């Protein structure tokens, strides 16, 4: 699908995977609307072709307003990439007691329900656009994690949320097939994002050593590169693609 002269919506678009994807889409000629929380937007670098929109992915009204902005930009909304998410760690039982239910619910609310909220509202706008070849109208890419398959100790909430994203991929693609909207999911491994900014070089080396090849952390621009490849390939649909250097996570 052609990206030039279309609108694209990227959640978590102020930094990390979303920031790299927003930048890559803009470089390809898309009019990009990067959704994120206000504090994150304040720290974002200015990128030509990217408009930052403050929105909480769990809030239907804020997402609707952001989608309306993108859909009303003068070019058709064709692309959505869901990157917003959080990844706290907690065991079901620990020295501090049992897993906090509110924390579990928060992770599900942001990572899974937030993804579904953006997907459904954006799909409605994409479905209203003029069809392209083969009655195609657009593509929605969600972000899971290899933790959906290989969840580690302390990742019960995170793995649950990302497993949900994996699980919605195929039925969402089938649901939206009559509207000409493809749905795909990327499941990254260990990516060098702001979430890892505080860890030591020694810990980074330990993480890298466990990856079969290449023995390094993935880069956000590699996620963006994969997202653009999925957008470009019109026959890819309903699929989850791992981007992990053949890593299979150990229990801890």
Cβ distance 243 to 145 under 8 Å? no
The answer to whether the peptide bond before residue 54 is cis (omega within 30 degrees of 0) is no
Determine which helix (DSSP H) or strand (DSSP E) holds 206, and give its type and residue range.
helix 201-209
pLDDT digits (tens, 9 = 90+) for 111-170: 999 999 999 999 999 999 999 999 999 999 999 999 999 999 999 999 999 999 999 999
In the predicted structure, residue 34 carries a pLDDT above the cut 70: yes
Please classify residue 186 by burial: count the beta carbons closer than 10 Å to its beta carbon, then call 0-12 exposed, 13-18 middle and 19+ buried: buried
User: Would you place residue 203 in the very low, low, confident or very high pLDDT band (cuts 50, 70, 90)?
Assistant: low
* Domain 7-243: assigned CATH number: 3.40.50.720
* pLDDT reported for residue 161: 98
For the ranges 66-70, 221-225, 248-252, the lowest mean pLDDT is seen at 248-252
Within 59-200, residue ranges assigned H as helices are 60-71, 101-107, 114-127, 147-150, 156-175
Residue 37 has pLDDT above 90, yes or no: yes
Mean pLDDT of 15-26: 97
What pLDDT band is residue 201 in, cutting at 50, 70 and 90?
A: confident
Point out the catalytic residue in the list 104, 158, 223, 235: 158
Reference 158, options 139, 145, 174; nearest CA is 145
Known active-site residue 158: yes
- Six-digit token pair at 124? 């409605």
- What percent of the chain is predicted at pLDDT more than 90? 91
Task: Find, among 53, 83, 87, the residue nearest to 70 by Cα.
Answer: 53
Give the mean pLDDT of 54-69. Answer: 98
- Residue 126: partners with Cβ closer than 8 Å, 6 or more residues away: 76, 77, 78, 80, 137, 138, 140, 179, 181
Tokens standing for residue 224:
């963006």
Helices 156-175 and 114-127: crossing angle, nearest 10°?
20
- Res 61: pLDDT: 98
Cβ neighbours for 79, distance < 8 A, ≥ 6 positions apart: 1, 3, 6, 7, 8, 9, 25, 30, 138, 139, 140, 141, 231
pTM above 0.85, yes or no: yes
- Percent of the chain scored above 70 by pLDDT? 98
What pLDDT band is residue 3 in, cutting at 50, 70 and 90?
very high
The pLDDT of residue 156 is 97
For the chain, what are the domain ranges? Answer: 7-243
């Amino acid at each position: 699908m052609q990206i030039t002269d279309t609108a694209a919506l990227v959640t978590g678009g102020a930094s990390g995977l979303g920031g790299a994807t927003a930048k890559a889409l803009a470089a390809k000629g898309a009019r990009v609307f990067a959704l994120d929380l206000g504090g994150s937007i304040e720290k974002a670098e200015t990128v030509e072709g990217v408009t930052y929109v403050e929105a909480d992915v769990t809030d239907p009204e804020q997402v609707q307003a952001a989608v309306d902005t993108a859909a009303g930009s003068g070019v058709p909304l064709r692309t959505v990439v869901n990157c917003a998410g959080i990844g706290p760690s907690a065991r079901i039982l620990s020295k501090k007691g049992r897993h906090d239910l509110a924390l579990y619910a928060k992770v599900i609310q942001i990572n899974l329900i937030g993804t579904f909220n953006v997907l459904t509202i954006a799909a409605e706008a994409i479905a209203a656009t003029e069809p392209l070849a083969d009655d195609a109208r657009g593509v929605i890419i969600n972000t899971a994690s290899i933790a959906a398959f290989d969840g580690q100790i302390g990742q019960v909430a995170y793995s649950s949320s990302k497993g949900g994203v994996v699980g919605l991929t195929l039925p969402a693609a089938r649901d939206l097939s009559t509207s000409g909207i493809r749905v795909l999911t990327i499941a990254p491994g260990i990516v060098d994002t702001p979430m890892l900014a505080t860890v030591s070089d020694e810990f980074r080396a330990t993480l890298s050593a466990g990856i079969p090849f290449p023995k390094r952390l993935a880069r956000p621009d590699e996620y963006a590169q994969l997202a653009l490849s999925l957008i470009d390939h019109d026959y890819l649909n309903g699929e989850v693609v791992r981007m992990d250097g053949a890593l299979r996570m150990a229990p801890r």
